[in-house]
Amino acid sequence: MVLPAVADLSPVTAAVIGCGNPNRRDDGAGPAVIARLRQAGVGGAGLFDAGTDGMAVLYAARGCRRLIIVDAARTGAVPGAIYEVPGEILAAPHRPGMTLHDFRWDHALHAGRRIYGDQFPGEVTVLLIEAGDLDFGLGLTPPVATAVEAVATRIARLLEPAP
């Protein structure tokens, strides 16, 4: 995970958070999008690699007006398929146990609204990339690598100021 310490986060109006584990091939799609956006010098938002840490999503999103989350998904569609979904559709309550290891970004969307109220983004977009290979290993499969480029382009457009 390459998320700065919470105390080091300067306020941003928008956050783009990539989620996933690059050690599981296509599960690294979210962090790959963040790396691509950084490489392209895309501005207008804080860019965060949250890895698999749902709590990092919660903290990075606080204080933003707009949030974009990018992650891999497994729905049975063709690898590399891209889904753009409003966050409120995917927010899921978390049943707290003794550990937060199973606290994911969809739980962070639900919890963030309950905990932070108006300090949590009202506009949430989730971009999901269909994974093909989730085995242990490095590197994205070609269809997912192509989708990463398309999603990075889409996010750059979403972050452009309105005319």
Residues 133-161: tens digit of each pLDDT: 999 999 999 999 999 999 999 999 999 88
The reply to whether 109 falls in a domain is yes
Angle at 4 between CA 134 and CA 96, to 5 degrees: 65
Domain with 30 in it: 6-159
What is 89-156 written as a DSSP string?
Answer: HH-------S--TT--HHHHHHHHHHHHGGGS-SEEEEEEEE-S--SSBSS--HHHHHHHHHHHHHHH
Q: Which pLDDT tens digit goes with each residue over 45-85?
A: 999 999 999 999 999 999 999 999 999 999 999 999 999 99
Q: Which residues contact 44 (CB under 8 A, 6 or more apart)?
A: 14, 159, 160, 161
CATH of the domain at 58: 3.40.50.1450
Domain count, the chain: 1
The reply to whether 1 falls in a domain is no
For residues 67 and 61, is the Cβ–Cβ distance under 8 A? yes
The reply to whether 132 falls in a domain is yes
